Copies of this chain bind each other. A is one copy, B any other.
């Protein structure tokens, strides 16, 4: 193998692919990045067997030449060093040469690196997905959906299926749901599909995969194609493929958990509520339980309190924008509500209570495409 490649484009793609590589893998070849040079361009692959990322740098793209190929070939190089080395190279072009015995030479500017590589034949093949269950949505929409749900996945391995975000779709609508059984975040959006009859459920993507994917996709409205199979999901961007394993197991049915009526409905400004809860959390965090108390007062006033026996207490009153229904007194995990308020882009929200011991719902005003559900905390 022997080629010259434009430095910035190569560095950019190496950093993307390196995101999939884990230094803690038990499969030695997976600590490397696989580099394949053909007459069409250079393909890079990184994988930790849960996530695999493949990028392609074409020889030419939009009239710009990226690669000068001298000889086709392939090599696997240690991701950790290789990614750092190319980032620190100062030339505008990088030359990569592989001789016998997987000995690679990287030249750029005045620097010459001789690196020991690994046999590319040992590198596992990426899953070959039959293109079924295909849909597409804009990248920025997908990025938002990840941001607005993935924080709510469980971090505990006791119920592995809850460490992922569940996708289901019917009638051209995609639902993403995450829950750790104390709180739930749900987001839905319209999607484009190949087949009018597209419908699926129980497609559970590990939270970690979505966090990595989110770092790669842009805030652009270019479409991203999604292929779903029995145990893999594939996100297809221009010149980049992102594969993730799906979690096994039955995701809980969450639709029935969401209350359909409420006893008390309060409308509040999002940001002042968030700031009030953050102040209250300063004390309840110390008490280790993150409990914050909410009480309705006369004239639409809401009182937020929290107590730490050692440090003290905080009391704050905020005026609701509107108030309907019964008086309410409830305690909840303040950190969970703060997490949700941080991802709500709307200036005003609606809180719907069904009782002091029943789950309550927070939603942006006049928008039903996302919803956050919280269990109250028993304080006696």
Interface residues of A (CB under 8 A from B): 78, 81, 84-85, 88-90, 104, 110-116, 275-276, 278-279, 282-283, 286, 310-318
- Which residues does chain B contribute within 8 Å of A312, judged by CB atoms? 104, 113-116
- Which residues does chain B contribute within 8 Å of A317, judged by CB atoms? 110
| Residue in A110, A114, A116, A286 with the greatest tally of chain B CB atoms within 10 Å | A110
The residue that A311 contacts in the complex, of B78, B88, B112, B283, with Cβ under 8 A, is B78
In the complex, the count of this chain's copies comes to 2
* Chain B residue, CB-CB nearest to A116: B312
Across the interface, do B111 and A81 meet the contact criterion of CB distance under 8 Å?
Answer: no
A113 to B313, CA, bound (A): 6
| Residue in A104, A111, A317 with the greatest tally of chain B CB atoms within 10 Å | A111
Beyond the given pairs A81-B311, A112-B316, 10 more chain A to chain B contacts, judged by CB atoms under 8 angstroms and listed by A's residue number, are A81-B283, A81-B286, A85-B279, A88-B278, A111-B276, A111-B314, A111-B316, A112-B314, A116-B310, A116-B312
Distance in Å from the Cβ of A145 to the closest Cβ of chain B?
30
24 A-B residue pairings within 8 Å (CB atoms)? A78-B311, A81-B283, A81-B286, A85-B282, A89-B279, A90-B275, A104-B312, A110-B316, A110-B318, A111-B276, A111-B279, A111-B314, A111-B316, A112-B315, A112-B316, A113-B283, A113-B313, A114-B312, A114-B314, A114-B315, A115-B311, A116-B310, A116-B311, A116-B312
* Chain B residue, CB-CB nearest to A280: B111
Across the interface, do A282 and B114 meet the contact criterion of CB distance under 8 Å?
Answer: no
A113 to B113, CA, bound (A): 60
A314 to B81, CA, bound (A): 12
A88 to B81, CA, bound (A): 42
A113 to B279, CA, bound (A): 9
A279 to B81, CA, bound (A): 10
